[in-house]
Structure 1
Amino acid sequence: MKISLTKYLFITAFILLQLPLFAQGIEGTVMNQEGEPLPFATIFIVNLKNGSSCNANGQYKLNLPAGTHTVQVKYIGYEAQQVQVEVKNEWQTLNFKLKAQTFALKEVQVKGKGEDPAYTIMRKAIAKKKFHRLQYDSYQMKAYIKGTGQLTNAPFFLKKKLKDEGVKLNEAYTHESVRQVKFSQPNKIEEKVLSVRTSGDDKGSPSPVNYIMFSFYNDKFGEAVSPLSRAAFGYYKFEYAGNFSEGNITVNKIKVTPRSRGDNVFEGFIYIIEDYWAIHSLDLKTSLMGFPISIKQNYAEVAPAVWLPTTHQYLFSGKVMGFAGEFKYLASISNYKVELNQKLLAKTEIIDEKVEEVPESVAAIKPAKEDKPIELLANEDKLTRKQFRKMIVEYEKESLKERENPEVVSERSVKVDSMAFKRDSSYWAQERPVPLSVKEVKGYQRDDSLAQVQSARLTGKDSTGVIKKKSFNPTDLIMGGSYNLSPRTRLSLDPTLINVFYNTVEGVNVNMSGKLRHSYDSLRRVFEIAPVVRYGFASEDFYAKTRISHQVKQGEKVSMIYVQGGKFVEQFNEENPIHPHINTLSTLLFRRNYMKLYEKLYVGAGYDYKASPFLKFSGSLEWARRSQLYNNIDYSLFYSEEDRPLTPSLPQNIELEDTGFPTNDALIFKASVSYRPGKTYRMYNGKKIPLLEQSPEFLLMYRKGISGVLGSDVNFDQLELGVNHGISVGVRGRLEFELRGGTFLNNKRMYFMDYEHFDGNRTILSSLRPAGAFRLLDYYNFSTNDSYFSGHTHFQFRKFLLTQIPEVRFTGIKENIFVNYLKTSSSPHYYELGYSLDNVFRVFRIEAAASFHDRNFQELGFRIGIATILKFSSN
């Protein structure tokens, strides 16, 4: 029978397209002897250096090329099994039943004070930890990564709102990716994203590779102290729990117990390979802010004497304020290709000089300055822990000196394959080593529609109409609402209902505000208009203002120009230290009208420019007509005029007998600079990203009241210097401070709103800036037009008083102390000493503070604030 060329090509193409359907490999279940599945057991193909994991039901499915393969199955606490299997052109079912691991207690010659042999094992492992990080020049691997999270509970009054926002309880939210990763010394990671399956766009989110690149050979694993840290013996007790043989190696099981349980210390078991003193596997738990975290890792020998992780498992869970959830994270590593460091191939026996006898020949080894540490390592077959560690440290220092850019502490590049977001289900069936659960499958069906919405917003194209356009409803003026005018244009109305306030000048005042925002070029350029209108029922005054801004991003550089103006009420301190809601409650309930207001008719413009994250400039020029305001209402729910009279809308001040003022015009220029020295960077896709937390921030501000221009009545010059910094101390200890000092070079003509004001507080609520605000200071009493200095320090402990109790630490509670200081040319020395419980119910901060004038005690007060872990802008 003859076949035409066209038919031949068609049949050939059809067969080639079907080849993936006839993939072969092994599949099955890993169980214990009782037939119970072992979730997330590790499957490792020894000859291919290829790893995979089971799912939560102990099931696995692994594609393999035809041929004979050595399959090794591991599960922490169970004996490893290793079998050979011949794979043909079909799937083979291969089930495993693992036996519980039995541990032998080797005879140990006890010396010294009879310490547990675990300490010798851990001292040797710590001595070699830097060696294990340096024994390869580079390695490549393929990583399949899956993270699945779900919200399991929420406050009853928010469940409907969450559902409307697309967040449903007990539904899986899953991220899957396949990535090719290359690590090169000293800290360079090149990542290629081969495929991603998740909701929305993954390109701007943190790479999950960050988690699998953390190493327990570093002093810290994330923020927690590693059991192999140089300071490990200060944080942990170790206990020898036996050993077992696996092939030709002996593995020691070490129990890790924190000396003080709580956040950022580990508890569990770490397995160390005898003689090599490398990690074999680990099963550890820790907590972050009281939330438990479980970590499991299995290692394999991926090159001669090189053990690297082949599976990672993380489990996060917790409850806070009625919310509960969990997140499971699994990484399966395969196709390791290791380039060994040829200078560190020699095997050196480590002697623990603390308990083991040191031969005279070894004790006599004392390197001279001209000796190369790498040559000594290659020539000596025995060294003490201290000798070995010192030589490795010196070798690392020499290597780092050879770097071209010593200020760059790490390099990272991420490239996304053009097909990464387009892979179909057949691709994932081929690449996915861990089968999806039923919940994860349903979650993908939901997320596919959400991804279309996000894509439309970024591209500006909505041809399928996935973005729902809401029609206007009059109730939106009261309850708030938002409208998609186009994929990149959005109108938002703030809820007027929660912007109804009360003060003694306007009585009840209603504020209506909104924002029109248009984005260009995938959010690089943004245009925004934000108007506000306000009406006071007691004063019968109508106010309005607006701000128009345009922002442009070009890499690290960000510039914004804005104009604003209107007629509005303003606090004398332009930082607005008293929130209108707080003043409303204080006035109505306690008859304390702390907010002091004046009227401002103004127009102004400004320019903000961030040349780099280390250097920022801002400047503004404003003309304003300021008028005094008076109380128009004398009403509160409690107390009478005789018991507690309301004060005028004028502050009290020790420098001015009367802060009242006539209507005046003011033209004021303001400029400021922020700078951070000591530049260190990490590289990302060829761009330098600064590590800001490693250097302090220095501030310079100049303010000028310009006289005689546009009728301006003011004439003053103010100069201020400041510094902010935060320093980590130990485990989770942190010291933060803020210092400010300034003076008025010229104060010929000023009004009280032009004075320097300080961030005071007279209400029960504390500031959002625990290291930058006073707790008991009057808002305006010490305001000045002369020289001044203020200082704030805030120290957070891991353990202090109540946190000495482990049960308290496990709740996530922290203890802080703070000291605040203020001195002006006219004020006494003002001090505040305070103590606080932080992260109470994971949300609140409860403070007690005492204030002093010079050495005289003034008052004791209590404040409630937001936990420092929750970072909010004061705006």
Structure 2
Amino acid sequence: MSYKQKYGALKYIHLLILILCIIPLIGKSENIISLFPKNRVVPDSILDRMYSSASIYSKEVKSYKSNLYFKGKITVHNRNRIIKYIPSMFKLEDSISSYVHESISELQYTAPNIYDRKIKAMISTFKSQRGRVFDVMDYLKFNIYSSSFMSDKVLSPLNGQSRIHYKYYLDSLSYINDKLCLKIIVKPRYKSTKLVEGYMWLSTDDWSVNNFEFEGAYDLIEFKLKTQMGNTPDTKYLPCYMDIDMHFRFLKNHLQMQYSGWIDYKEVNFTNIGEIIYIKKNRGKYNLSNSYTLTCDTSRLVSDIDSFSKMRPFPLNDEEKLLYSGKKERIEKIIMKQKKDSIESMKQPKSLVFWGQVGDALINSYDIDLPKVGSIKCSPIINPLLLSYSHRNGISYKQVYKYNKLFYDGRLLRIAPQVGFNFTKKELYAKADIEYVYNPRKHGALELHVGNGNRIYSSVVLDQLAAMPDSTFSFDGLDLDYFKDIYVNVSHNIEIVNGLNLWTGLAMHWRYTKSTPELDARVRSKYNSFAPRVRIEWTPGMYYYMNGNRKINVGSYYPTFIADYERGIKVFKSSGEYERLELSAEQVIKVRDIHHIAYHIGCGFFLNQKDMYFVDYVNFANRNLPQGWNDDIGGTFQMLDGRWYNASSHYVRGNMTYESPFIFLYPVSKLLSFIQKERIYAGILFMPHLNPYFEIGYGIGTHIFDAGVFVGNERGKFTSVGCKFTFELFNK
């Protein structure tokens, strides 16, 4: 039953009363019928119909295929040297303040929230086609009737659950396309990056949106979005034209980006009566390849001006033509300058050229993509945004380099070296992760992981710990012999069936410490270990799509279950026989669109220990350069002394994070205009001498940094309070 059939003529009663009340105010204009008194609150009866209609219209469109033409002008109002060091920034030229950018794409949508865009042609007057400070796809993922839009960044004012966050005022009545429409002003009750301000025109015929204009701010972008919905039966629920005006401001840099987009729909499919479009309900069909058929084939990407001119649906204006001709002149000058510079560089001393290259590496980021070589990504070596601080680990710095090579048949080679330094412990950490995906259809891959791990003490310490009663236990009273660790892990991964992965490999460690007579009287100074390892990961109901030969997992509505088993054996002069078993389950649950709950529960055991071994868990470890769930500080214990991670032959743990834009701070509007997310952390740990250890925390997430405050409780007593801080600017 449609909405119109369900409500019938009753939906006009309240509107009729409003019109009768304002008949004396009606002017002679055929377009503008009347203006309501200023700040007249929208009656609940109209809001209820608006919310009810939006909940139905949000599911009307099942899928569509369209062509998208985007044209934008970028204006540099103010800049300084800092803008050169912003990752992914457009390559700006010193004497140029205006640029133009165009693209033609295929855009495909499948309910409830799958968007796929294939760029067919793209040109610009930038020095390089690479670079951006925002993701334009966020502005294309726009279902005005859904509970949130722009990739869940903003709460829709048409959603009933957002009623407590917005105020609605009647502005005027007008005829649009021979339909009587209401203009409703939308204002947030408090400033927040999750809320927008503006207006929308609602048709009183069926309470659908004719057009709207909203403005807001997210990250470093202030945006104003003006959209015209379609006027045909197939496009009335979809945007057909949009204007986007964005301002990027950062440390006295100001860039304005004005984009216009036209969407031409080739095919629109609607939800049938009684059909449930949510993938969640259709548990038997996990292959979403029909929704992800579009890919960007860079080898066929049109990028020259002459070819693009034949595809452009609308002509350029005079200013845009001048910008393109200006680029052509600059290219000719650059070619001449390169020839001259190559001759001059041969005359310079080699040492001067070398130190110039070193200086570039220190302050510049690199994103190199060569078709026959692969892509290389790295950030500047001198980059304060790579610093983090925690109460437990102190100040840390990390640098990650990424190399990717995608072969024509879907095979993939990844190499990711990482270097980090802990200033508090004065320790340097380095590792390299190498993965070769030889069977992309089944996630068949060979992996190699090499690096130096945390300092660790041997299992001899466990006997000392076990002999100490809880009442007198103290790490400070123990003489711990710390060993340094160098590890090599070799593994093979294959997906047996959808969602079930089998990981087999070898874990090898070389642990050593400084030899002293006191140490040699108890243990040796060098130990090698050799351990076959099996890991099984199972995610029921895993959705995926095929991109050529590559199988790409999308996600599941169920947890991921993990079993990890390792057995140390005496071969190749290795020492220590043991068995390690760890079990865990983890999941991120989306609640009410922009609220998330993430949890991780697990346990681990060391069994059948013979001779000396090292308590070194995989899922419960002290990370020298910590990483977590979405925010880099969740899913672990921030205040737990690092020595506890190697102090027991068994453990049971649980961690939970709740993330929402509105928890405690929404009454404080000035803070919400800066804070994007609030988080609550909780964790509990059971092990000898800690029954239990409990930790709670509160954190905030902004576009510049993430921070949290944590409190630790050992055996019912609060023992520690600390904080964690990480830079997130341009990293998300």
Deviations 1:149-182 (A, max 9, x none): 5676666456489899944477556542334667
Structure 1, unaligned stretches of length 5 or more?
1-98, 108-114, 342-391, 453-464, 499-512, 535-542, 575-593, 632-647, 651-657
Paired position in structure 1 for 2:53: 128
Secondary structure of the structure 2 residue equivalent to 1:704: strand
Deviations 1:800-819 (A, max 9, x none): 33442112111135332212
Deviations 1:31-51 (A, max 9, x none): xxxxxxxxxxxxxxxxxxxxx
Out of 782, 785, 793, the residue aligned to residue 656 of structure 2 is 793
Secondary structure of the structure 2 residue equivalent to 1:424: helix
How far apart, in 2, do the equivalents of 1:546 and 1:869 lie? Answer: 24
Paired position in structure 2 for 1:233: 163
How far apart, in 2, do the equivalents of 1:480 and 1:804 lie? Answer: 47
Q: AA paired with 2:201?
A: Y
How far apart, in 2, do the equivalents of 1:412 and 1:753 lie? Answer: 45
Find out whether 1:197 has 2:149 as its counterpart: no
Whether the 8 Å CA contact 2:651–2:685 is kept in 1: the answer is yes
Find out whether 1:178 has 2:39 as its counterpart: no
Whether the 8 Å CA contact 1:601–1:624 is kept in 2: the answer is yes
Whether the 8 Å CA contact 2:440–2:549 is kept in 1: the answer is no
Find out whether 1:145 has 2:60 as its counterpart: no
Secondary structure of the structure 2 residue equivalent to 1:397: coil
Whether the 8 Å CA contact 2:230–2:240 is kept in 1: the answer is yes
Out of 691, 705, 717, the residue aligned to residue 856 of structure 1 is 717
Out of 206, 219, 229, the residue aligned to residue 147 of structure 2 is 219
Paired position in structure 2 for 1:284: 214
Out of 663, 678, 682, the residue aligned to residue 541 of structure 2 is 678
Choose 471-480 or 220-229, whichever is displaced more: 471-480
Out of 670, 689, 692, the residue aligned to residue 807 of structure 1 is 670
Does the C-alpha gap of structure 1 residues 134 and 666 become closer, same or farther in structure 2, counting only changes over 3 Å? closer
Find out whether 1:397 has 2:276 as its counterpart: yes
Post-superposition shift, 1:519? 4.7
Q: AA paired with 1:729?
A: V
Find out whether 1:314 has 2:244 as its counterpart: yes
Find out whether 1:741 has 2:599 as its counterpart: no
Post-superposition shift, 1:720? 0.4
Paired position in structure 2 for 1:411: 291
Does the C-alpha gap of structure 1 residues 426 and 716 become closer, same or farther in structure 2, counting only changes over 3 Å? closer
Paired position in structure 2 for 1:834: 697
Whether the 8 Å CA contact 2:148–2:593 is kept in 1: the answer is no
Out of 399, 404, 407, the residue aligned to residue 521 of structure 1 is 407
Whether the 8 Å CA contact 1:284–1:294 is kept in 2: the answer is yes
Post-superposition shift, 1:243? 0.4
Paired position in structure 1 for 2:309: 427
Post-superposition shift, 1:775? 1.7
Whether the 8 Å CA contact 1:263–1:290 is kept in 2: the answer is no
Paired position in structure 1 for 2:569: 706
TM-score under structure 2 length normalisation: 0.68
1:181-580 aligned within 5 A = 195-197=121-123, 211-212=139-140, 214-222=142-150, 223=152, 224-246=154-176, 248-289=178-219, 291-303=221-233, 306=236, 308-320=238-250, 324-334=254-264, 395-397=274-276, 406-407=285-286, 411-414=291-294, 420-421=302-303, 424=306, 427=309, 431-433=313-315, 435=317, 437=320, 441=324, 445=328, 475=355, 488=373, 519=405, 521=407, 524-526=411-413, 549=434, 551-552=436-437, 554-555=439-440, 557-561=442-446, 571-572=455-456
Paired position in structure 1 for 2:590: 728
Post-superposition shift, 1:666? 2.0
Whether the 8 Å CA contact 1:476–1:493 is kept in 2: the answer is no
The higher-RCO structure (CA 8 Å, 6+ apart) is: 2
Choose 144-153 or 312-321, whichever is displaced more: 144-153
Paired position in structure 2 for 1:718: 580
Number of matched residues? 631
Deviations 1:805-851 (A, max 9, x none): 11211113533221222221343421222223332xx3223332222
Deviations 1:418-463 (A, max 9, x none): 68445616835963355364785379659989xx9xxxxxxxxxxx
Does the C-alpha gap of structure 1 residues 210 and 420 become closer, same or farther in structure 2, counting only changes over 3 Å? farther
How far apart, in 2, do the equivalents of 1:400 and 1:766 lie? Answer: 28
Does the C-alpha gap of structure 1 residues 321 and 516 become closer, same or farther in structure 2, counting only changes over 3 Å? closer
Deviations 1:686-718 (A, max 9, x none): 9875332644322221121113x2222211001
Whether the 8 Å CA contact 1:116–1:240 is kept in 2: the answer is yes
Choose 415-424 or 728-737, whichever is displaced more: 415-424
Whether the 8 Å CA contact 1:747–1:785 is kept in 2: the answer is no
Does the C-alpha gap of structure 1 residues 817 and 659 become closer, same or farther in structure 2, counting only changes over 3 Å? farther
1:626-637 aligned within 5 A = 626-629=511-514
How far apart, in 1, do the equivalents of 2:249 and 2:282 lie? Answer: 46
Post-superposition shift, 1:551? 1.6
Deviations 1:304-347 (A, max 9, x none): 9946533112233343566654443321245x677797xxxxxx
Does the C-alpha gap of structure 1 residues 790 and 316 become closer, same or farther in structure 2, counting only changes over 3 Å? farther
Does the C-alpha gap of structure 1 residues 496 and 683 become closer, same or farther in structure 2, counting only changes over 3 Å? closer
Q: AA paired with 1:218?
A: S
How far apart, in 2, do the equivalents of 1:518 and 1:263 lie? Answer: 34
TM-score under structure 1 length normalisation: 0.58
Post-superposition shift, 1:216? 1.1
Deviations 1:18-71 (A, max 9, x none): xxxxxxxxxxxxxxxxxxxxxxxxxxxxxxxxxxxxxxxxxxxxxxxxxxxxxx
Deviations 1:226-252 (A, max 9, x none): 232243434433221120124522221
CA RMSD of aligned residues (A): 5.7
How far apart, in 1, do the equivalents of 2:214 and 2:381 lie? Answer: 51
Identical amino acids, percent of aligned pairs: 17
Does the C-alpha gap of structure 1 residues 492 and 430 become closer, same or farther in structure 2, counting only changes over 3 Å? closer
How far apart, in 1, do the equivalents of 2:701 and 2:232 lie? Answer: 45
Paired position in structure 2 for 1:362: none
Does the C-alpha gap of structure 1 residues 781 and 329 become closer, same or farther in structure 2, counting only changes over 3 Å? same
Rg comparison, structure with higher value: 1
How far apart, in 2, do the equivalents of 1:750 and 1:261 lie? Answer: 60
Does the C-alpha gap of structure 1 residues 494 and 599 become closer, same or farther in structure 2, counting only changes over 3 Å? farther
How far apart, in 2, do the equivalents of 1:138 and 1:822 lie? Answer: 47
Deviations 1:270-307 (A, max 9, x none): 10112232211101123334743321112342349946
How far apart, in 1, do the equivalents of 2:371 and 2:294 lie? Answer: 32
Does the C-alpha gap of structure 1 residues 163 and 616 become closer, same or farther in structure 2, counting only changes over 3 Å? closer
Q: AA paired with 2:555?
A: L
How far apart, in 2, do the equivalents of 1:431 and 1:290 lie? Answer: 32
How far apart, in 2, do the equivalents of 1:187 and 1:164 lie? Answer: 28
